[in-house]
Amino acid sequence: MPPYAQISGDRRTVGSVIRFSCIGQRTVIGNTTRMCQLDGQWSGSLPHCSGESSGLCGDPGIPVHGIRLGEDFSVGSVVGFSCEQGYVLRGSSERTCQPNSTWVGTQPECHVISCGNPGTPRNSQILSHDGLVFSRSITYTCRDGYYSNGLLTRHCTVNGTWTGNMPECTVIMCGDPGVPANGLRLGSDFTYNSTVSFRCAPGFTMDADRASTLVCTKDRTWNGTKPHCKGTDTHTQTDSQSYTVSACHTLTHLFTPSHRHALPRPPFGKSDQSINQSIKCIYKARLTSADVTKCCTESQPKTP
């Protein structure tokens, strides 16, 4: 409120109006009424009251969050105004007292600096914010299944910009858990909350202390390590090689012409469906580029 002024009207909602008047013989210099606008600001500028005697101007006041330089209100004197950090001056930064006891210019006001809406990154949401103006902050969080390597909190600075860069939320990946020797892995999705399972080749058993299924966790690691497949037949050859095969039809086996070694029916195949899976097969010697696989039914002899 300006010095020596009175205000009528106590509502502070959009559309409400306040009126200014001055004490004694002083008169209002500037807007006698101001209206609360949709943007939360008052229309016009803050008025002041005239001086009480000839040769003097009334006290021009000090803006909220502002500073006034000068206490001489006589004719010809000049007073200056500035704002606290984080606020910008609107109105006259200097005012001169005129012979008619009025100040030159408009009554200054200090408005808080706004940084504007910084937006919301993809695959994220706003966790909290306390405003979009100076000294306020906004914090993001990545959606389930995503993570961020950068800072998730930004602050509104004195120059009207947000600190840092817009966060980036990246899908969580756990990486390839590998395939156990003498076994196979089912599943090739390594993103958050996905699962992969393992099985051992005939003549091999899985470690009892390790799970046959792993889950990709939020910290981008699997909830365990791949199991080991241990041989149960001391005469089984341990020479092995990884390669990719397609599922055979129901009630069929896979063979290799060069080694005549039968594999069990793939547990993953369905009739007329081919699914590539990475497995390890046991042979007396390593596969060569000439080796191929063949499907045969239960009734067919186990020779290529």
pLDDT (tens place) for every residue of the chain, 304 residues total: 777 778 888 777 888 898 888 877 677 878 888 888 887 788 887 887 776 566 788 888 899 999 999 999 999 999 999 999 999 999 999 999 998 888 999 889 999 999 999 999 999 999 999 999 999 999 999 999 999 988 999 999 999 999 999 999 999 999 999 999 999 999 999 999 999 999 999 989 988 888 899 999 999 999 999 999 988 754 333 344 443 333 343 333 343 333 333 344 444 333 333 333 333 333 333 333 333 344 433 333 333 3
Q: Say whether domain 124-171 belongs to CATH 3.90.1150.10.
A: no
At 83, which amino acid appears?
C
pLDDT of the residue at 262: 38
pLDDT of the residue at 3: 74
Whether 53 and 67 have beta carbons less than 8 Å apart is answered as: no
Long-range contacts of 170-177 (CB under 8 A, 24+ apart): 170/146, 171/123, 171/145, 171/146, 172/145, 172/146, 172/147, 172/216, 172/218, 172/220, 173/216, 173/220, 174/216, 174/217, 174/220, 174/221, 174/222, 175/220, 177/214, 177/222, 177/225, 177/226
203-to-86, 237, 296 alpha-carbon distances in Å? 75, 10, 21
Does the model's pTM come out above 0.85?
Answer: no
- Does residue 119 come out as left (phi exceeding 0), alpha (psi in the -120 to 50 range) or beta? left
Q: Say whether domain 5-112 belongs to CATH 1.10.300.10.
A: no
pLDDT of the residue at 99: 85
pLDDT of the residue at 111: 94
Residue ranges of the chain assigned to CATH 2.10.70.10 = 5-112, 124-171
pLDDT of the residue at 299: 37
pLDDT of the residue at 237: 39
